[in-house]
Amino acid sequence: MSNHASTSAISVRNLWQVFGPNPDKIVGSPDAALPRAELRAKTGNTAAVRDVSFDVAPGEVFVVMGLSGSGKSTLVRCLTRLIEPTAGSVIIDGEDILKANDAHLRDLRRTKFSMVFQNFGLLPHRKVIDNIAFALEINGVKKELRHERAREVIDLVGLQGFEQAFPEQLSGGMQQRVGLARALAVDPEVLFLDEPFSALDPLIRRDMQTEVIRLHKELGKTMVFITHDLDEALKLGDRIAIMRDGAVVQMGTAEELIANPADEYVADFTRDIPKSHVLTVRSIARPHSANEPTSDQQIEASTVIRDATATVLNSTGPVTVVENGTSLGVITATDILRVIGAGAHQ
Amino acid sequence: MSADQEVILPTKRTINRGWILGGILVAWIAAGRAMHGKFTYVLATYDDTRMSARVDVWAKMIRGHRDAPIFIYFFNPIRHFIDTFVSLIRSIISQPLEGSSIPVFGWLGVLALIGFIVYATSNLKTSLLAMALTFGCGAMGLWTDSMDTLALTIAAVVLSLAIGLPLGVWAGLSDRVLKLLTPILDLAQILPTLVYLAPLALVFMIGPPAATIATMVYCIPIAIRITAFGIRGVPTSPVEASTSMGTTTTQKLLKVQLPMASRTIVLGVNQTMLAAMSFAVIATLIGAPGLGKPVINALIVRDVGNGIVAGLAVVFLAIMLDRSTSAIVAKRDSFIPPSDVSVRNRRIGLAVGGVGTIVAMVLSRSVPFAAYFPEGASIAKPVAKVADTSVNWVVENMQILTTGLNHAITIGILNPMESLLTGSPWFVTGLAITGISFVLGGIRSAIVTATLLLAIVATGLWQDTMVTFTQTIVATLLTMGVGVVLGVWIGRSTRADQVLRPFLDAAQVLPAFVYLIPMLGFFGPSRFTGIATGIIYSIPIVVKIVGQGIREVPTNMTEAAISAGSTKWQLITKVQLPAAKNSLLLATNQGLIFVLAVVVIGGLVGSGGLGYLVILGGAKPELQGKGLVAGLAILLLGVMIDRIAQFAVRRNSAPKH
């Protein structure tokens, strides 16, 4: 666990958040194992986050996904202590932030991590540039310096020309760009995004997702991204944690979740996702059988099936799946069509 | 438990309730008839009760010990400070300085200053309106009185905000502080204005300081309430976002919460100012200088013409203050600043206006015509004459509406009800009221009601309380009759709303006193005059609440009823009114409280009851104790009415969720 903490950007262990009359007494007691409704009936407490542990590697985009009420928004607020967790530890950059006192916590918030909100949370009485420079302002940075920095991030998120506008003059998508810029202005190590695009129209949402991918490529920030939208999770997340009733049900890469859903809940979620868009050829590679013609083409094991389709269909024989130069097996057009066809039947 | 039953058997319960209420009424009437005139606690005006005699002794003791430490070290310094503050403002705009015949600024200077301040805080149109209205006060021949009222209002508002805004912010930030203040704020909302006066006059002595303090006591809760509401109304996400960026509590308050609540806070200033202004008029009863004097004089000698002249000055001043401050609220609708051109024009306007104002202020100190409001501009006499003639014409030619209405209501409703409430033995009436309270609001409501009724019995003023209660009920019934009709109308028709709303808004700005004058003209000194004033005064709030309730009935409900083939009448009576039931109850509650506040003022024009005793207590030293106890009885009555209504609202809304 300790070597996890040293290599992780964020390391969360046994995190609990219990609302109600006596939250401290729940964690560690047998009641903690009760289902949510029974716990509330018995003790009056609600466990919004129950025993959550995970690590996020530096530069990773870690997505927490779940339906409303699953505890994902509470979880992200516990990570920044906007809501005080009941028990557990949250180590960011080697330091347990749950142990920080008020002044130190403020310092951490001003420098180490920042957050983007679903409803943007912009200040309506301030211009775009002063919204973006707000975090620097409260940290006592001089006006010229903070405006200079604000202009840099304005360029970064594509808000040039809107510096002097007020939030209410901007569209939702533009407002969330301000929210992103504001979070990036302090050059944080970790970015928390709480359903940042849920309030936006589908088309704008897609643009903003692309924008986040671009920013992530350029800046390489560690991100914890909360969403209720599986498509968004698959598109952005290096790894995805699926939450239900406050607990993490399954955690892994998109491929792992789709190939091996841990339970019905996860399977339900992933049912409508075309497998060929997520699974790689590695997962369908099989040994070369003797009566097949020999393969003359190769394909990387990490290729998504959809992207491999053209190559395999155009090949006259089986295609060899390779990883680091060694063969994992072969696939044919039939194997690919089986995956795609299975998706269509469901 | 009871909530479950209500969910299962809603219809049955309603029927039962109606029968029970009818049964209580029949039993009340029967028992009242049988024992009519017995155990009714009738008391002559000059008779003391046990409690009032004791209070009288206390009051005399307080008056005889003005040199006690609590006066020397606590009350007197407060009084002195406020006296100095009020005198300072009066010396600038209304009262001559020593060795001079004018204040620091004569009328033209004050007028220009008002215009400039309003222009600087809102816009040119409002500024011109404010100047015209202020000039109108002078044209009523009441420049000095108007400025006295303005000075007292300003003093009370400044001090009230100095106390109310910080407390309001605190209550906005801290749940504990809000919880602590809520009972006081609630009580302040129920308390009729008249009740504040006597106790404060006793402690701070009659005069401008006591009047200012009474005004402040009335206004501070309003400032606290709206400020706290404003802070709490700030959307959570910007506040949370600023926390996530590491703001300190102070930074969050100054850079996020206060700027975002500024609009509501300005609205609070507006409300505080209007409350102060209307209270400053009534505070004349304990020595406030200004427009209250001519109003009350006119009421006492029944000089309707001059009363209307003074009333118009009050109206002008109230509208001036309201428009000036609400223009600031409107300006704050958006945080987006104006364009560069308008900024430049405005700068020029401010410079020109500033110079003009300074010139006017200098002139007003040196040139007679700018110093003394010109006699020739006064139109008080013709206005008084026209008012007198019109009122007389109405009284003579439209008897059905004046004397006829008065007699119809008095003989048809008021007398029988008063006979029932005051003529039945006290325990019969008390039991009946408790029973009704039980049916409407449940067992807790009944317990609270019974306790308060016993407290009223203990004051010894049972008879007078029941007189006031009767008038309150009658006025509220009539108010609800008219108010529901108008409320349904504006709730259903946008057009009606647009037509009526300006009148409703304007009517709410005016102090109750103003309505008393024409009513006195129409109906003479009688109980109905107080009732009619109460109705006029409380109709706007009732109409607004009912209208709001009707408008908030979900469209799918009305659409479903229309598609099922309801007629308009069926739609209103079977869908919209039942769905807006809570608004109706809330409107009744507000109507009762507003009516009570006015009905007691009706004591000035022959309504009798507790209000008369309070006013008499202020005027005659030997009745001071009784006046104070009557004030207490009004308070008890107000709390009882409010509690019953609140319990009824709560009970009614409980099964829904």
> Picking from A271-285, B154-168, B517-531, which range would have the lowest pLDDT averaged per residue?
A271-285
| Position B167 pLDDT exceeds 90 | yes
Contacts of A199 in chain B (CB under 8 A): none
**What share of chain B in percent tops pLDDT 90?**
40
CA gap A160, B525 in Å, rounded = 73
pLDDT band per the 50, 70, 90 thresholds, residue B574: confident
Q: Does residue B256 belong to the interface with chain A, where contact is any CB pair within 8 Å?
A: yes
Question: Could you tell me the pLDDT band of residue B393, with boundaries at 50, 70 and 90?
Answer: confident
Phi, psi (deg, nearest 5) at residue A251:
-140, 135
Beta bridge partners of A241: A64, A251
Average pLDDT of A18-42? 81
Residue A344 has pLDDT above 70, yes or no: no
Taking CB atoms and an 8 Å limit, are B245 and A110 in contact across chains? yes
**B244, B253, B336, best to mutate vs chain A, most A CBs in 10 Å:** B244
What are the two backbone dihedrals, phi and then psi, of residue B285, each rounded to the nearest 5 degrees? Answer: -60, -20
pLDDT in tens, B457-514: 998 889 899 999 999 999 999 999 999 999 999 988 889 888 888 888 888 778 888 8
Select the residue of A106, A134, A186 nearest B248 (Cβ to Cβ).
A106
Residues of chain B with CATH 1.10.3720.10: 143-290, 399-653
From chain B, the residues in CB contact with A134 under 8 A are 242, 245, 255
**pLDDT 10s digits, B320-331:** 999 888 888 777
Partner A contacted by B554 (CB < 8 A): no
Give the pLDDT of residue A346.
41
In chain A, which among 3-42 make CB contacts under 8 A with chain B?
Answer: none
pLDDT at residue B532 above 60?
Answer: yes
Q: Do A138 and B238 touch (CB under 8 A)?
A: no
Report the gap between the CA of A41 and the closest CA in chain B (Å): 18
| Per-residue pLDDT, A343 | 54
Q: What percent of chain A has pLDDT over 70?
A: 97
Give me the pLDDT at residue B467, please: 92
Q: pTM (2 decimals)?
A: 0.83
CB pairs under 8 A between A and B: 74
Res B137 pLDDT > 90: yes
Among B43, B68, B65, B150, CA closest to B103: B150
Q: From the DSSP assignment, how many helices (H) and strands (E) are in chain B?
A: 33, 0
Specify the range with the lowest mean pLDDT, choosing from A55-64, B351-360, B619-628. Answer: B619-628
Which of A23-32, A36-45, B197-206, B648-657 is least confident?
B648-657
Residues A215-269 pLDDT 10s: 999 888 999 999 998 889 988 999 999 998 889 999 998 888 888 888 888 888 7
Cβ–Cβ < 8 Å for B371, B100:
no
- At residue B8, does pLDDT exceed 70? no
Closest among B269, B273, B282, B271 to B196, alpha carbons compared: B282
pLDDT value, residue B151: 95
Nearest CB among B237, B259, B335 relative to A166 is that of B335
Task: Point out the least confidently predicted range of A106-115, B166-175, B369-378.
Answer: B369-378
pLDDT for the residue B333: 65
Q: How confident is the model at residue B447 (pLDDT cuts 50, 70, 90)?
A: very high
More confident residue, A260 or B532: B532
Secondary element (H or E) of residue A181: helix A172-184
Query: In 3D, which of B220, B82, B83 has the Cα closest to residue B161?
Result: B220
Domain topology for B143-290: MetI-like fold (1.10.3720)
Q: What is the structure's pLDDT at A150?
A: 94
pLDDT at B648: 86
- Interface check A225 vs B, CB under 8 A: no
Chain B touched by A134 (CB under 8 Å): yes
Instruction: Please determine, for residue B15, whether its predicted confidence score (pLDDT) is greater than 70.
Output: no
Per-residue pLDDT at B622? 83
| Exposed / middle / buried, residue B606 (Cβ in 10 Å: 0-12, 13-18, 19+) | middle
Strands A326-331 and A113-116, sheet pairing: unpaired
Q: Report yes or no for ipTM above 0.90.
A: no
**How many C-beta atoms lie closer than 10 Å to residue B150's C-beta?**
25
Task: Give the tens place of pLDDT for each residue, B243-294.
Answer: 999 999 999 999 999 999 988 898 899 999 999 998 999 899 888 899 999 9
Chain A closest-CA separation from residue B236 CA (Å)? 8
Q: Which CATH number fits domain B399-653: 3.40.50.150, 1.10.10.10, 1.10.3720.10, 3.30.70.990?
A: 1.10.3720.10
Identify which of A42-51, A122-131, B44-53, B156-165 has the greatest average pLDDT: B156-165
Per-residue pLDDT at B171: 95
